[in-house]
Amino acid sequence: METFLGLDYPTWWFLVIGGLFSGYAILDGFDFGAGAWHLFFKKDHSRRIAMNAVGPVWDGNEVWLVIGGGALFAGFPVMYATFFSSMYIPFMLFLVFLILRGISIEVRGKEEWPWWRNMFDIIYSVSSIMLAFLLGVVLGNVLQGLAIGPEYQYQGAGFFEFLNPYSLLTGFTTLFLFMTHGAIYLLVKTEGRLFAKLTILMKRGLILFMVFFGITTMYTLLYIPHLSDDFKANPVLFAAPLITFLSIANVPRLANKKRYKLAFIFSSITIASMLVLVAIELYPTLLFSTVNAQYNIDIYNAAASEGSMENMLIIVAIGTPLVLGYTYFVYRTFRGKVQLDETSY
Amino acid sequence: MYLCSTKFFTMDTEILARIQFAFTIAFHYIYPPLSIGLGLLMVLFESMYIRTKNKKYHILAKFWTKIFALTFGIGVVTGIVMEFEFGTNWAVYSRYVGDVFGSALAAEGIFAFALESGFLGILLFGWNRVKPWVHLVSTIGVFLGSMFSAVWIVVANSWQQTPAGYQIVGEGLNARAEITDFWAMVFNPSSVDRVLHVWLGALLAGAFLVLSVHAYYIVKNRFVEISKPAFKIALVVAAVFSLAQLYTGHHSAEGVAVNQPAKLAAMEGHFKASAPADLYLFGWVDKESQEVTGLKIPGGLSFLLHYDTEAPVTGLNAFPEEDRPGQINAVFQFYHIMIAIGMILIGLSLYGVFLWWKGKLFRKKGLLWVFVFAAILPQIANQAGWFAAEMGRQPWVVYGHLRTNEAFSQAVTDNQILFSLILFMIVYAFLFLLFIYLLNKKIQHGPYEASKKDDNDRPLNKEITQVVIGN
């Protein structure tokens, strides 16, 4: 098998997709999180500020989802096909909420009527909450494994199979992590009373996250042996959850010192390190079969051809600096506190 | 979920998956062509502003950017649906084409969509934050991004129509196409023709929307001073590209004749295995009797393909029943609707240019009203063209290799698809109503604040100063 710098192509591709999903979780994580708090802000002006904080960037953040999805499709077609078709209902709900959320940002400010604005505020906030929650639920299902049989066929196919105790735990953990992350983003972007309120909300989100993260970790260690085995065999890997814990613990400390940008960087590190944790638990498997381990989908049986992986790695190597470049340029242009003008939402 | 456990009529998973895909992509395709077409007009207006420093063009660029924002937003959120649906509803297909289609999709995301979305923020909200030329660069970035998006998506679709640069490995559910030559895959036999054809269709959709709105202002005697130059610029775009479309369309059809003869035969309702073929202006195909009733040019299709009215053209009967498109009359109708509209667009824009040359363009109220309603025509033609292309490709999802009825997700049940289909219908109905409402509102409000009556009489400079200061 072809290798590059000592790693084979499927492993490279696993890292690339992990990187793209981490980028997506950090970026759309803060805008889902900011949206989730939306109804806690009572005044129309506060809501406008909060929405305009994500206004110029939400669309660029979703690019990472499009690229991540395309990368999964291109790199591990078998995983993409089985994973998406077995998580049918949660993904369809995810799409519908993604549509409703995008549209409510777009149209909320187009009319002055209170009922209109309230309606889109509610749609925006509920969709944001559901999107964060559904991402966590899907992640929980991946970690736990799915009923995959021969020929990579999912054998579950019920309406509510995707909701189970573990996926609910990961769903809430993700929601509260994103809400904390979103609150910190808004702290960077707002001033005055909205800002003051957010300092309190951020701490509440953080406490809820810590509680759910703790329970989820316990549950994983106790009930999901295929995930905890790696850790028991190789205790060095406990560094990943330790980094998660230290970086999230650093957030309130930095917030108290009013160093919000740095706090945002640390909540981003928390999200990234949690995904590193997930990657360690999975690698080299992508999807565990709960029917029989021989049906597991891993980076080798799911991989695209070597030629395709090589092409795609070149495409990613050229494309990523470009994407990072535009992203930097946009965030730089809209840096600082939100200022409303006639082009705002 | 016992609620819908009884089968909905007798529709099975395959049909429901096809209906859902067709519905979601047809709805999506209202918006990207507008984004591409309006993108070009925005670039032109903004460039004119930077060149001439005439504020008219600045107002136009800003006004159309607002309408663009609406179409772009809906395009983005309805577009992500497609990417997910390949995996959710077409799992067998996704495993089969992942190597090829996945690469194109990922390239679209990383090269095109990122460019578009990256600069979009500055295009929409950056008017007061960056220098005019930086803003123009952003507008161009968004426009180019949307053009590149079309390239990769059409390349992926063209590979399904005319596969190239691949080999098939494995068997049964494990069979899949592997890329052997990336550039041969990208430049498969139909890519270039179809990319050009789709581009021009999109540019026409944008140009005719601009023509429509400004024709409306002119007949209503509102914003006339900025509407006249806008109308002229869009008219040039419409005339050039509607003529060019004739060429790309013809070239595409020649390619279809070579690469997908069964599709071309269905488009013209040509059954005889090998005989001179007629060209229908309109008609009705009876699949049972293999007869077409309508107005035809005898030997017309033979002539267009081989410059000889007697040249034989491969007909549907040359293919086994199971390899022919199922809905021949539908393919025929969609194809003919597209062509008829193409001709109308050429006629309309050339007549407009002729009147402009005669100096009578804005005096013909009747013609302006035709332009007001003509915005719908490129939309219909774009939809009809895609329906003809995709229904004509049947029964294959990858032409000659993978059948549609083998490609859908086995793990998904009909109840699940019915649930998502109904959900999409409700949400999209809501989106469409919002779109029409907001589009109408923006048009009625107009590019700048002006008194309701006779704003045309007021000196333009005064209004523009107000606008600029007001902002």
The A residues from 37 to 56 touching B (CB cutoff 8 Å) are: 55-56
Q: What pLDDT was estimated at residue B9?
A: 46
Domain-located, residue A341: no
Place of tokens 């996250």: A209
* Inter-chain CB proximity A62 and B122 less than 8 Å: no
- The pLDDT of B82-101, averaged and rounded, is 88
- Please report, rounded to a whole number, the percentage of residues in chain A having pLDDT higher than 90: 29
Domain-located, residue A338: no
Place of tokens 């779109």: B435
* Inter-chain CB proximity B109 and A307 less than 8 Å: no
Six-digit token pair at A32? 């889902």
Domain-located, residue A3: no
Q: What pLDDT was estimated at residue A323?
A: 82
Is the Cβ of B471 closer than 8 Å to some Cβ of chain A?
yes
> Are the C-beta atoms of residues B146 and B116 closer than 8 Å to each other?
yes
Chain A partners within 8 Å of B91 (Cβ): 81-82, 84-85
Q: What pLDDT was estimated at residue B49?
A: 92
Per-residue pLDDT for B29 more than 70? yes
Q: Residue A5: what are its φ and ψ, rounded to 5°?
A: 50, 40
Through-space distance between the first and last CA atoms of chain B, rounded to whole angstroms: 55
Domain-located, residue A343: no
- The pLDDT of B329-355, averaged and rounded, is 93
Chain B partners within 8 Å of A320 (Cβ): 110
Is the Cβ of B113 closer than 8 Å to some Cβ of chain A?
yes
Instruction: Give CA–CA dist A47/B170, Å, rounded.
Output: 55
Nearest C-alpha neighbor of A18 from the set A326, A239, A298, A273: A273
Six-digit token pair at A284? 């080299």
B324 Cβ contact partners less than 8 Å away, ≥ 6 residues apart: B262, B266, B316, B395
Instruction: Give CA–CA dist B403/B424, Å, rounded.
Output: 26
Output the average pLDDT for chain B: 86
For A326, the domain range is 8-333
Q: What pLDDT was estimated at residue B465?
A: 41
Is the Cβ of B273 closer than 8 Å to some Cβ of chain A?
no
Instruction: Give CA–CA dist B35/B117, Å, rounded.
Output: 12
Is the Cβ of B330 closer than 8 Å to some Cβ of chain A?
no
- The pLDDT of B103-119, averaged and rounded, is 82
> Are the C-beta atoms of residues A142 and A226 closer than 8 Å to each other?
no
* Inter-chain CB proximity B80 and A107 less than 8 Å: no
Domain-located, residue A315: yes
**A54 to chain B, closest Cα gap in Å:** 10
Six-digit token pair at B86? 């390949």
CA A65 from centre of chain: 9
Per-residue pLDDT for B45 more than 90? yes
Whole-structure pTM value = 0.88
Domain count, chain A: 1
Prediction ipTM score: 0.87
- The pLDDT of A94-98, averaged and rounded, is 94
- pLDDT tens, position by position, A178-224: 999 999 999 888 888 888 888 889 989 999 998 999 899 888 888 88
Instruction: Give CA–CA dist A164/B86, Å, rounded.
Output: 26
- The pLDDT of A259-279, averaged and rounded, is 89
- CB-facing half-sphere around the CA of B295: CA atoms within 13 A: 3
Six-digit token pair at B376? 């719908």
Chosen for mutation from A123, A330, A337, A342 (greatest number of chain B CBs closer than 10 Å) is A330
For residue B314, what is the enclosing H or E element?
strand B312-314
* Inter-chain CB proximity A80 and B102 less than 8 Å: yes
* Inter-chain CB proximity B95 and A155 less than 8 Å: no
- The pLDDT of A284-290, averaged and rounded, is 86
- The pLDDT of B62-81, averaged and rounded, is 90
* Inter-chain CB proximity B130 and A333 less than 8 Å: yes
- pLDDT tens, position by position, A24-74: 999 999 999 999 999 888 888 888 888 888 887 887 788 888 888 888 888
Q: What pLDDT was estimated at residue A1?
A: 66
Q: What pLDDT was estimated at residue B405?
A: 86
Instruction: Give CA–CA dist A111/B20, Å, rounded.
Output: 32
**Residue B185: strand, helix, or coil:** helix
The A residues from 128 to 167 touching B (CB cutoff 8 Å) are: 151-160
- pLDDT tens, position by position, B281-334: 888 888 888 888 888 888 888 888 888 888 888 888 888 888 888 888 999 999
Chosen for mutation from B117, B122, B176 (greatest number of chain A CBs closer than 10 Å) is B117
- pLDDT tens, position by position, B139-175: 999 999 999 999 999 999 999 999 988 888 887 777 8
Is the Cβ of B73 closer than 8 Å to some Cβ of chain A?
yes
Domain-located, residue A196: yes
Is the Cβ of A341 closer than 8 Å to some Cβ of chain B?
yes
Per-residue pLDDT for B8 more than 60? no
Enter the DSSP assignment of B169. E
* Burial zone of A310 (CB within 10 Å; 0-12 exposed, 13-18 middle, 19+ buried): middle
Per-residue pLDDT for B470 more than 80? no
